[in-house]
Amino acid sequence: MAEIAYREALRQTMREALIADERVILMGEDVGAYGGSYAVTKGLLDEFGPDRIIDTPISESVIVGCGIGAAMGGLRPLIELMTINFSLLAFDQIVNNAAKLSYMSGGQISVPLIIRMAGGAGSQLAAQHSQSLEGWYAHIPGIKVAVPYSPRDARGLLRTALTEQNPVIIIEHTALYARKGEVPDGDYAIPFGEAEVIRQGSDVTLIGYSGSVFQALQAADLLTESGVEAEVLNLRTLRPLDVGTIVASVRRTNRAVVVEDDWKFGGFAGEISATIMEEAFDDLDAPVARVCGADVPIPYAKELEQAALPSAQQVADAALKLM
């Protein structure tokens, strides 16, 4: 068991894949000489050369389109899009090609493509660079969406993605890259659709993913001071969603708060809330609560940005209202 940073967990896993399988290639803006916008691919160009670590033009649609073609041709491309915000320029390629080619070909075509994106706010990158759009991609059949919280998640989920035969999107929260955590030794993987009970409790379930797991854990500490024991779930993937673990937890605690950075209106927290209401309505002692980002574009100013994001105190207050 070693303690490493989130970005290092990703880098080590990609390096292992490049060594193990000559079909694996990396493509993206600044992934080579610069080492990636968040230093995730640092050093890989020197080790594997420009035929496998490919710096691309600034054109997200072209990057993803080339990745789809390479995957169809027998390679296993790892695409890096600098942020989830820029993925909108490749939305047509992702939604209308990558997600649908296997279905529309009757299974004759596979697209073993991994697209990594940085998402979330909290780094003072302003409204056009700080969005949480993972729910958009989770909405699309044919795509699997992973949202790792810890270095262990990042390594284990990426390893699973490397075995998939069709597209996987991995969304990495910008505020987590430097965060360290313990990663098991050996060749472990984390199956998709398997949430983690990261903290056990009996009074309320706090459900988060990616950066919002940190807020949920902080809120659980605050709730302990009020005599409330919160259970915290780390979803790990949004599609597939581990409905079983969510429902089992809510049946134990009888209350739920869903936390995400995204806007509440039309957000993925609404999907989780509806699922709980459908599957565990008779077990609820209070309506499902949601704590989400403010319904505004993310501000640039540090104080305003923090005010627009969910806080641990807001999560704790929402849980206390359910008691």
Catalytic residues, which ones? 60, 129
Beta strands at 196-199 and 237-239: parallel, antiparallel or unpaired = unpaired
The secondary structure of residue 140, as a DSSP letter, is S
Burial of 126 (0-12, 13-18, 19+ CB in 10 A): middle
Q: Which residues are CB-contacts of 263 (< 8 A; sequence separation ≥ 6)?
A: 292, 293, 294, 295
Beta strands at 196-199 and 53-55: parallel, antiparallel or unpaired = unpaired
Amino acid at the residue 322: L
Quote the CA–CA distance of 195 and 148 in Å, as a whole number: 11
Residue 292 phi, psi dihedral angles, 5° rounding: -130, 180
DSSP E strands, 120-195: 144-146, 168-173, 180-183
Quick one: how far is CA 177 from the chain centroid? 12
Quote the CA–CA distance of 14 and 1 in Å, as a whole number: 19
b/e code 25-56 from CB counts within 10 Å (16+ = b)? bbbbbbbbeebbbbebbeebbeebeeebbbeb
Q: How many CB atoms lie within 10 A of CB 224?
A: 13
Cis amide linkage into residue 240, ω under 30° from 0: yes
- Whose structure tokens read 């193990």? 20
* DSSP per-residue letters across 196-228: EEEE--SSEEEEE-THHHHHHHHHHHHHHTTT-
Quote the CA–CA distance of 193 and 200 in Å, as a whole number: 19
